[in-house]
Amino acid sequence: MKKYNSSPSEEISNLEQIQARTGHVFNDINLLLTALTHPSYTAEHTPPPEHYQRLEFLGDAVLQIIVSDYLYKHYPDRQEGALTKMRSSLTNETATAAYAIELGLNQALRLGHSEIDGGGRQRKSVLGDIFEAFLAAVYLDGGMEEARRICLDILAESGAEERLAQQEECNPIGQLQEFTQSTFQCKPLYHLISHTGPVHAPLFTIGAFINGHYVSSATGKNHKQARSLAAEQALAFCADAAALPYLNGPADTLFALDFDGVICNSAAETGCSGWKAAATLWPQDFPSPLPPQELLERFCALRPCLETGYQAILMLRILMDGVDVQEFASSFSEQIQQCMAKHKLEKEELVRRFGSARDKWINDNLEEWLAMHTFYPGVIDALKTALDAGLQIHILTTKQERFVQALLSGCGIQFPQNRLWGLDKHAPKENILQALRENTKAIIHFVEDRLETLRRMEKLPALESVRLYLADWGFVLPASIAEAKNDSRLQVIALEDFTQLFKK
């Protein structure tokens, strides 16, 4: 790429080539010269020749009207939003710079020395400007139709149609909107469910809703990426034959269910993961791959006291030291803190060891890990009944979704992936419920086994209409049940009433 201005003879040759290339011979060649003159060139010459900025101002408007007119006539089925995006793809800086190069305008560009040294001949912003200035020069010299002819010719030669087609294929948001407007006479709704991660690497989870029904959610590095991924998943969902009956069906009732402690009993798995983690701290005291059955039963009896996974390591250490279950339960927090102090353990280290031990177990023997989970009596049958009846069932869990699917699949349930809210979504349960509440017409029933979680829901005005249930068969303490019974906002539900809930 040359870094100097053309000599007088080269300049004449360049101007002739541009005119031959476009098929337009200028009546006023000074218009073309002005379109090719950068302000830095003007600043270095006396008398100063006129530079292209005024022409670029006019050319921008000429380009916009030509392309807008073309898209309006050639895409009669596209709405304003889609047409705007299509026009932008054909008139943005990258596109106009490419047009300038295609016409050879860059070779004839007149620059000042500082701009030449700074790489101005390759700069997209400069190249885009001279294309718009050139189009204005054609418009002033030969009229709008001549400018239209040259503009549309260069668009065709640069593969504009192919780019537009590719944009259509790569624009799931536009595709989803067209589908919902033609099928349901409504636009899809998008809702920010969570914003997590550090400032320098944030993650956004966005849900998509159609016709009052939740359809999909996705996580991305920014709003645009997350929304696009959610729309892509929604399109895939809508392609399923079962989607239309669901989206056209009543949206009057929705059930949101916790998984561990409501559907699944994972106490044994937590105890075994804690055992394996404890073995990395005290290998002589935890020598076997799995804990003795008697010890595991004592751990399961204390499972309702556990607040977070890493505490399982300390619970097993305390039980191994001979502390009675009743005594432990009556002073759980104090015992945990004393154990941490005695063994000089920090929370961060315990979290790391517990997670690493569980991950290693899953990687080494997934089948054994899954087998440590059981389901509460009658819950699987209740789920099957609800799903067969077409009810909107959502599962909210801190487990990874693939594990939940594997566990349910083992019981003959193919749970809809778009209604499973797992660890992968990076979203607190209250955020999920707010998204469902604000974008669906349904009465929402939320079943949870932890009173602390329900208390968080109670504090949110947006969830005032959500019906909250405390499951009395999960990892719930008797004191929590008694407290919930005295709260008019909460309803304690027994396991035997769970199936009946789906029939109300």
Catalytic residues: 60, 132
Q: Which amino acid is at 299?
A: F
Closest CA to 187 of 198, 176, 199: 176
Residues of 52-62 as b/e, b for ≥16 C-beta within 10 angstroms? beebbebbbeb
Measured CA to CA, the distance from residue 455 to residue 480 in angstroms comes to 11
CA dihedral 29, 35, 41, 47 (to 10 degrees): 50
Closest CA to 426 of 225, 199, 202, 229: 202
Q: In whole angstroms, how far apart are CA 267 and each of 24, 108, 296, 312, 382?
A: 81, 76, 9, 10, 21
Burial (CB count <10 Å: 0-12, 13-18, 19+), residue 379: buried
DSSP β-ladder status, 420-421 and 374-375: unpaired
Contact (CB, 8 A) for 27 and 104: no
Q: What angle do CA 321, 326, 332 make, to 5 degrees?
A: 70
Measured CA to CA, the distance from residue 346 to residue 328 in angstroms comes to 21
Q: Which amino acid is at 391?
A: L
* 246 SS3 class: helix
**Residue 113 CB neighbours (<10 A):** 13
Contact (CB, 8 A) for 298 and 325: yes
| Token code pair at residue 320 | 């191994």
> How far from the centroid of its chain's Cα atoms is residue 427's Cα?
11
Q: Is the peptide bond before 47 cis (omega within 30 degrees of 0)?
A: yes
* 195 SS3 class: strand
Measured CA to CA, the distance from residue 179 to residue 218 in angstroms comes to 19
Alpha helices in 75-159 (DSSP H): 80-91, 93-103, 105-108, 113-117, 124-142, 144-157
Crossing angle for the helix pair 293-302 and 311-320, to the nearest 10 degrees: 120
Contact (CB, 8 A) for 310 and 350: yes
Check residue 390 and give left, alpha or beta (phi > 0: left; psi -120 to 50: alpha): left
Closest CA to 401 of 377, 375, 427: 427
Measured CA to CA, the distance from residue 43 to residue 458 in angstroms comes to 69
Measured CA to CA, the distance from residue 443 to residue 251 in angstroms comes to 8
Measured CA to CA, the distance from residue 341 to residue 497 in angstroms comes to 44
